[in-house]
Structure 1
């Protein structure tokens, strides 16, 4: 089995070969949106990097199924500035664009701002070492679910409803690199609708059309926790939202718009 979600192409720095670890739960031929979102984060961070700046928000649009095939990932700065800049990234297969993302990169305060302590984000979670690993229910022998580790502190895949779940990458997003905090967060955040599912997987599809992650800081360490809840509606549109944590406290929020439909 591959030891990374994507393999870089030595002949083309923008081209990445998808491995079986990217496979999602809906089709054996399509990727989970977590790995390609993280791949977009990978190229965004490498796009004209600026010391003292950090990505504060990434909005990913899923234009269609992402095939298990070679992908081209490119990013460019489309709005530059002294304190904030906007980066746009596109992920394409041989059929054309399959995902797009925009990211705001912001200048970090130097020196750090003297802010009222009582208004700074705080919070404690049950740590991943104190919980047991759980396997994602999938018919696929190899996929995203085998490339990451899930540890629930509340809820489970077998229990419908809100859940808190720690997620850790077992492998790098791109072979030969160490996953950045942003890559880890994007890969984990796309599982919000899965860990907090409220509908029977065998009877319904609940596929996200997008992923928006807003971070007031980047995670420390390998684990990202999702305090996730899914809000379905009878008309077939839903929302999954997650509060994001690491082992030291809150990070930010993520949201996913959901298409809900009966399985045919």
Structure 2
């Protein structure tokens, strides 16, 4: 499959695989997280540091045009590194992000409460198939709208930037946006569009498959958020949070 972006000088040119399912003139939220993660990886990656938190603020629709990714370190300490990321289209900021990276060290002998181990079938035991023009594959552990938390396995099936390896950090960053449809959907489908997404990671994912499970939705007066747990084959690795607003256009498209 064609890479989601092709480098052209200091800009990244999106391919059709990066387009939103709602409009072929707008970038998919999946790839917005990827752009912020790619910027962090390009300018702040260090094998001694772990991406702990990444936030993507979706300040406006991102057009399918060449995009410039700029980063600025706001903190460069011995144990903590903070980075701001700005994505520009024709000189206008269309996406803003930030990240905190923490130095890996010896883990304390402590046992705070954690969720029970994930007990689900492996991805190869679940029927799957092509995702059309999308750059990722979804294997549903349970059906949309079924009682209980939504659960899926996902993997990226295209390079993010042509000629560059798809790193564990990028795999996690790309999947973060799925927090919205997984946790903010109900029996009637998805009624919310997310305005941001925040990903927390305790460690990088191992392997190509990432599992996600809804941890719940909360909303009132048209203001909502949803949360997810993120896994790999070896267990729990992180947590996602997506703020959201209702969007009647989504439901209308789903019914058409």
Verify same fold: TM over 0.5.
Answer: yes
Contact 2:215 / 2:229 at 8 angstroms: preserved in 1?
Answer: no
If the length of structure 2 is used for normalisation, what is the TM-score?
Answer: 0.87
Answering whether residue 160 of structure 2 is matched by residue 173 of structure 1, we say yes
Aligned to 1:61: 57
For residue 235 of structure 1, report the CA deviation from its aligned partner.
2.1
Structure 1 runs, 4 residues or longer, greater than 4 Å off: 116-122, 158-161
Decide whether the 8 Å contact of 2:138 with 2:155 is kept in 1: yes
Measured in 1, the distance between the counterparts of 2:77 and 2:71 equals: 17
- Residue 241 of structure 2 corresponds to residue 255 of structure 1: yes
Question: What CA deviation, in whole Å up to 9, does each residue of 1:21-45 have, x standing for no partner?
Answer: 1111222211111112112111201
1:22 aligns with 2:9: no
Partner of 1:228: 214
Per-residue CA deviation, residues 207-248 of structure 1 (Å, 9 max, x unaligned), is 110010001111000011110256264622221211000010
Residue number in structure 2 paired with 1:115: 109
Q: Report the alpha carbon displacement of residue 159 of structure 1 after superposing the two structures with TM.
A: 5.1
RMSD: 2.4
Structure 2 stretches lacking a partner, 5+ long: none
1:162 Cα offset (Å)? 3.2
1:156-202 Cα offsets, whole Å, 9 max, x none, are 3x75873101110001111111111121112112112223421645x
- How many Å separate the matches in 1 of 2:119 and 2:127? 15
Looking at structure 1, the residues matched to 127 and 55 of structure 2 have their Cα atoms a distance apart, in angstroms, of 32
The runs of 5 or more residues in structure 1 that have no matched partner are: none
Q: 1:149 aligns with which of 137, 147, 154?
A: 137
Aligned counterparts of 2:179 and 2:79: Cα–Cα separation in 1: 31
Distance 2:115 2:83 in 1: 27
Distance 1:50 1:233, change over 3 A: closer
Partner of 1:93: 89
Task: Indicate the larger mover: 89-98 or 215-224.
Answer: 89-98
Query: What SS does the aligned partner of 2:169 have?
Result: helix
What is the deviation of 1:50? 3.2
Relative to 1, partners in 2 of residues 1:122 and 1:182: Cα closer, same or farther, differing over 3 Å?
farther
- Cα deviation 1:51-104 (Å, max 9, x = unaligned): 411211101100111111111111121111111011111111116111111111
Given the alignment of the two structures, is residue 76 of structure 1 paired with residue 63 of structure 2, yes or no? no
Contact 1:161/1:229 (CA < 8 Å) preserved in 2?
A: no
Q: Does 1:193 align with 2:189?
A: no
Q: How many residues are aligned here?
A: 248
